[in-house]
Structure 1
Amino acid sequence: MDGLLRQIDGYCERTDPSYWSEPVNAVTNLAFVVAAYVMWRRVRGQNMPLAVTLCALLAAIGIGSYLFHTHAQVWAAIADVTPIVLFSLTYIFAANRTYWGWSLWAAALGTAAYIPYSALLTPVFEALPFFSISSFYWPLPVLIGAYAVLLRNRDPRTAWGLAIGAAILCVSLTARSIDEPLCMNLPLGTHFLWHILNGIMLGWMIEVYRAALVRQRNGAASA
């Protein structure tokens, strides 16, 4: 239990263990909740259970991150990371089903493959000076970019949407990575930009999935 209550000080804005030591990092988690609400309004009632699930997980990301940037303890870090992992896996599954048209089991196996893929690629980023601090996350834009390239002929609109998402995520990860290095010159830090840009990016990724599913259904209806 004591391990779960251990304090974590990993961001420039935090200067002490108090609840409101990271007010900007805490409040900017509203970006996730707002994006989740906007996208939920767009997908509700359209028989898109995976999209609705993604919206719920996006809201959970905001809540978990808020808890982490206020309590700043190990248990809150778990609450922060868990919905991010679940969102990523759910989106990969949805992408495999809709973008590639894979069967349920093929999509599930493709989703499970992300775990060894990430385990192999994360140490590569850990070995790179700039990328090491966010090494856990960098395999995601690489995968999104790979999907964009592979889908460019099959579904150009989705490919372009994924490319935009990957680009936003790269900028977002850069903001996360330079938070500590710039701390002496920028006491507020840059981590709050990670929240804002990620809220936009994850909402956009849901929109890319929604639009692809609509096009797929319209195509089937007109066939």
Structure 2
Amino acid sequence: MEQNHIDIYCERIGPDFWAEPLNAISNLGFIVSAALLILFLKRQKHTPDDDAAYWGLIALVFLIGIGSGLFHTLANRWAMWADIIPITLFIVGYSYLALRRFVGISIGLSLFGAAFVVALTAALPALTALRGSTYLPAVIGMFAVGLFLRVSDQPRAVANSILASGCIFALSLGFRTLDGPLCNILPNGTHFLWHFLNAIVLYILTRTMAQVTESQVRD
């Protein structure tokens, strides 16, 4: 382990590989979610029209688990990027697909919307000291899309799934934010709960995306 290891979580008490056991092991939730999504797709009589996009999301869910696992064990600079890159790609990809499939806007506007979400995600940490502010656009986006779908002609189940994901993600973000402030009370921190809940969120979001085909998009 490098001497200049990254120490930003409550559970880590040193540079050792297993210095964050709960934070590391909880990433198995993403691997399980990816496996369940594969089983779901295999059982579907009709696969999504854009099959490559769905498989891409599953691959990113898997890579999020791997990258985060590396970061919470190795805790170095390259492992941090292995954690950040798959998450960023999922946000970009899902934002585009959500705007295209759920909201039904054009490809160009969907690309612009996805780019705007990423730009806002990158800018927020510089504008506020609130830990976890990076993910506020994702929370707002889930509720915005979910509420839009509730008043549109999309199936109610799709809207409810997106809104449920938003609620779970908001709770998850709360645990991520409280990891430091509650460290004196909870020595293991709360970051591992962020992993478990996010694995559920990504499962729901990706499964919901598979249930909305391109034929349902309103051009």
Kindly indicate whether the alpha-carbon contact (under 8 Å) linking 1:5 and 1:75 is maintained by their aligned counterparts in 2.
Answer: no
Q: Report matched runs for 1:19-168 at 5 Å.
A: 19-44=17-42, 46-47=47-48, 48-119=51-122, 121-123=124-126, 126-127=128-129, 132-154=130-152, 155=154, 156-168=156-168
1:147 aligned partner, one-letter code: V
Deviation at 1:105, TM superposition (A): 2.9
Distance 1:42 1:30 in 2: 18
User: AA paired with 1:95?
Assistant: A
For the Cα contact (< 8 Å) 2:88–2:118, is it kept in 1?
Answer: no
Give the direction of change, closer, same or farther, for the CA distance of 1:106–1:176 in structure 2 (3 Å limit): same
1:202 to 2:205 alignment: no
Quick check: 1:5–1:74 contact (8 Å CA) kept in 2?
no
Please report the TM-score for the alignment, with normalisation by the length of structure 2: 0.87
Whole-Å separation in 1 of the counterparts to 2:53 and 2:184: 43
Give me the whole-angstrom Cα distance separating, in 2, the residues matched to 1:190 and 1:70: 17
TM-score (norm 1): 0.86
Distance 2:145 2:202 in 1: 16
1:184-203 map, 5 Å: 184-203=184-203
Q: Which amino acid aligns with 2:136?
A: W
* Paired letter, 1:174: G
> How many Å separate the matches in 2 of 1:79 and 1:214?
31
CA distance in 2, matches of 1:207, 1:174: 24
Percent identity over the alignment is 37
Q: Distance in 1 between matches of 2:33 and 2:63?
A: 12
Distance in structure 2 (CA, Å) of the matches to 1:208 and 1:122: 30
> Any conservation in 2 of the 1:7–1:17 contact (CA below 8 Å)?
yes
Segments of 5+ residues of structure 1 without an aligned counterpart are 218-223
Aligned residues of 1:60 and 1:83 also touching (Cα < 8 A): yes
Structure 1 Cα separation of the partners of residues 196 and 183 of structure 2: 19
Alignment CA distance shift 1:21-1:122 (3 Å) = closer
Matches of 2:168 and 2:186 in 1, distance apart? Answer: 22
Q: 1:209 to 1:76 in 2, by over 3 A?
A: same
Measured in 2, the distance between the counterparts of 1:41 and 1:26 equals: 25
Q: Does residue 171 of the first structure (1) align with residue 171 of the second (2)?
A: yes
* 5+ long unaligned stretches in structure 2: none
- Opposite residue 74 of structure 2, the aligned amino acid is H
Gap change, CA 1:69 and 1:104, over 3 Å in 2: same
Q: Structure 1 residues 110, 5: CA separation in 2 closer, same or farther (over 3 Å shift)?
A: farther
Aligned counterparts of 2:40 and 2:214: Cα–Cα separation in 1: 12
The number of residues matched between the two structures is 209
The offset of 1:119, in angstroms, is 4.7
Name the SS of the counterpart of 1:184 in structure 2.
coil
Task: Kindly provide the amino acid, as one letter, of the partner of residue 47 in structure 2.
Answer: Q
> By how many angstroms is 1:98 displaced?
1.2
Amino acid at match of 1:159: A
RMSD of aligned residue pairs (Cα, Å) = 2.2
